[in-house]
Chains A and B, each alone.
Chain A
Amino acid sequence: MAALAETSDAAETLLLVSNIEVIYNHVVLVLKGVSLSVPRGGITALLGGNGAGKTTTLKAISSLLQSERGEITKGSITYRGEPIAGLNPSELVRKGVIQVMEGRHCFAHLTVEENLLAGAYTRGDGRAAIARDLDLVYDYFPRLKERRRSQAGYTSGGEQQMCAIGRALMSRPQTILLDEPSMGLAPQLVEQIFGIVKRLNEEQGVSFLLAEQNTNVALRYAHYGYILESGRVVMDGPAAQLRENPDVKEFYLGMSEEGRKSFRDVRSYRRRKRWLS
């Protein structure tokens, strides 16, 4: 894991997405001009409901779109100043950008340890270095060490999420695109996973771009947030600021001036009027 450079240039932009448009199957327009930037050493959250385009944005960056008949038709994506839109996922992993997919996607019939080693596929720096990083991953996820000999398909959801993050770490990434780590996990486990993400960010200097529906948790751990709706960024700002924003409170955190409020009562047209006009 690339050591975090001096804090002085911590604000350097690693990943810059500008105004991208994504079309699936030549007809379905999913992203309608999304722009965002991920600074070195930051945790950036990408928030929004189902179908807002979070996963598509991450897949556009990691080039996994190519295998799903999706296509970037407009805009550009650069990583440390270089355009990366045409690269294949393997080249991106070598450059230090790796995605942890939604729903874990562990290799079910491989053991946990084999899963982790598969994450080191692109590396050419020898067995010793890989073994060192394996120990490092086991330090962060002691649970994985206990389960290292079991087939990943038979481990619990939380363990699989850890396995997926650990597998990504084995490629020595600089930036991890983390898609819905909280999906289907108990609140306690969600906190645990986010805690580890925060530690990885602080101790190993890994930058994160985090797509998440759980706005509450994500904004507590992230530094900066973007809110996506129907394929557009409708709002962005430092996480602390977003947390206090009355609209975010009302629409995403289920709170308003009058206290907690059911999402059911929020009229969607009001939202549309205010944000999407």
Chain B
Amino acid sequence: MMASLSRLRLASPEGVGLLLLAAYAAYGLFWLGSIDERDRLFFYEVTLSGLLAGVMYSLVALGFVLIFKSSGIFNFSQGVMALFAGLFLTGFMNDFGVPAFLAIPLTVAVMVAVAFAVERFVLRHLVNQEPIILFMATIGLAFVLEGVGDILWGSDVKPLDVGLPRGASDFLLDGYGLYVEKLEIAAAAVAAVLVVALSLFSQYTRIGRALRAVADDHQAALSVGISLRTIWVIVWSIAGAVALVAGIMWGSKSGVQFSLALIALKALPVLILGGFTSIPGAILGGLIIGVGEKWAEIYLGEVMNALFGLNASWFTAIENWFAYVLALAFLLVRPQGLFGEKIIERV
């Protein structure tokens, strides 16, 4: 990223984007100085809740990145995997009374079993097929997982409580007058730990190096004796574990329900922003989307009214589609995403 900054030319689309960003930030700071204390506090609250919501998106995006990097497969079923993991977890806990510290490893085991099954019954037969065929296969997988989850555990909303802290953070509320959910802070902490752990794993371990090798060149990885099957099982298991984390966080927030599968759609703009191949990118993309949509929801109507005299009510519920517009704009400027790997092409 730094290296690419030094080579940046202002005339390029990226340069224009950065200039706009700088102008925007300057305006924002100026505006922040001009408003009164109460509004400023409200702005901080909006920003923080945006950041924390962004972390939740990032958790889902992370699973996508892991699988895409190592197999070039865009795993459409990542969102459903979060739901699937959540269903099993609530099933173990609510229906069988298994305590959380046992139910979580049990669910991890289920996700590992799913990884084995996916390799055995899907991926193995589709080696060397077009990416679009593999993508279609993951769509099928999404339906299968959703169906199995429904048959086993039923389709009503299930409460999930694994003992994560709830309610507003007293520290921030008393000290600074900010209202922030403890659960969201916990999600942020978990995401941070997850990212650091995954980065260390892929950078410094033998298996991690093999994962990156497979991501670069399947054939070459095969030729040096890396077994693709083993690698795929490992990757899908890790993605399953990440899906479980996402499932726990979203489930604790709003109950485990089938709309959980749809958060995968919100992860898509996150990936376009952050780059499909970068773990830090998934996190940063999530934060940008999270904050961006909250800001847009609260402030964009007023701004548009002041600037162009547009009816502010046109911009309500912008939260639902803002992310996609942002992603579209991003595709025009920097299609590989903020941290996506540049495609190295030798001629």
Contacts and interface: CB of A to CB of B under 8 A. Distances in A.
B227 A153 contact: no
Nearest to A155: B346
B217 interface: yes
A110 B225 contact: no
Interface in A111-149: 114-115, 117-119, 121-122
A50 interface: no
Contacts of A64: 219, 222-223
Interface of B: 127-128, 206, 209-210, 212-213, 215-228, 341, 344, 346
A153 B220 CA distance: 14
B226 A121 contact: yes
30 contacts: A64-B219, A67-B219, A90-B225, A90-B226, A92-B225, A93-B225, A94-B225, A98-B225, A105-B219, A105-B223, A107-B212, A107-B213, A108-B344, A109-B212, A109-B215, A109-B216, A109-B344, A110-B212, A110-B213, A115-B213, A118-B210, A118-B213, A118-B221, A121-B206, A121-B213, A121-B224, A121-B225, A122-B226, A154-B344, A168-B224
A92 to B, nearest CB: 7
B341 A118 contact: no
Contacts of A157: 346
Interface in A201-240: none
Contacts of A151: 344
Q: Classify the interface of chain A: helix, strand, loop or mixed.
A: helix
A171 B216 contact: no
A177 to B, nearest CB: 9
Nearest to A88: B227
A64 B226 CA distance: 12
Given A64-B223, A98-B225, A105-B220, A117 B344 contact: no
A119 B225 CA distance: 8
A106 B346 CA distance: 12
Contacts of A117: 206, 209
A106 B223 CA distance: 11
B142 to A, nearest CB: 26
B7 to A, nearest CB: 14
Contacts of A110: 209, 212-213, 216
Contacts of A100: 223
Contacts of A68: 128
B131 to A, nearest CB: 16
A99 interface: yes
A158 interface: no
Interface string A152-185: 0110010000000001100100000000000000
